[in-house]
Amino acid sequence: MGSGGITEVSNTILLEVDSVLNISGVDYVSGTPTSGSFDDTGLGTYDAEIAWTDNGNSANSIARISVDSGSTWYYQFTGSSASPYTFTSLSNDSSAEARWGQTYTAGSITHAFRAYGSGLSPSSVVVYSTTYGAYSAIIPADSVRYLVLHTITFSSFGYKITDDAMSYGYALSTSSPSTFGDPDYTTSFAS
């Protein structure tokens, strides 16, 4: 403070920053910004800085500043979730301003799975059951990362687990019971 690009107005300066979540290519804010303020009397020209703790590990944030008690706000993307962010001018990013009012709610996503037992054909080829056990996991939609633990009990020597659409899956050759962390399926089961 003391020198910078914002001119003193001898008023309380308001600062807010909100984390951004990208959903299907669109940025949304949480709607619960971190706020701060200070009086700029006697500072001449200055830069204004706001610091915060980002508990959501967002990839971006939007910060805004007002020098007239909230009548006019100037919005800027911070570029990352790293704190602090410094306003060096009262420039406004219209894209950041448009996103400020677009909030998201958590909700949930249901992931459905199918588990198939396996065995060996007379010619020692691994074959899978035509029937399956179905189950699901409910994940908060705003989770950045999660781990699904599968616990499977079969009398066969192994099994495979697929998503409900059978687009992706994972096979294990192990005796039951078995617990493993969801490996973020990458192996496709075409048959």
Cα–Cα distance for residue pair 57/62, rounded to 1 Å: 14
pLDDT score, position 21:
80
pLDDT in tens, 116-134: 888 888 898 888 888 888 9
* Under 8 Å between Cβ of 160 and 171: yes
Give the predicted TM-score (pTM) of the model. 0.55
pLDDT score, position 55:
56
pLDDT score, position 183:
55
Give me the residues of the chain with pLDDT under 50, please. Answer: 2, 188-191
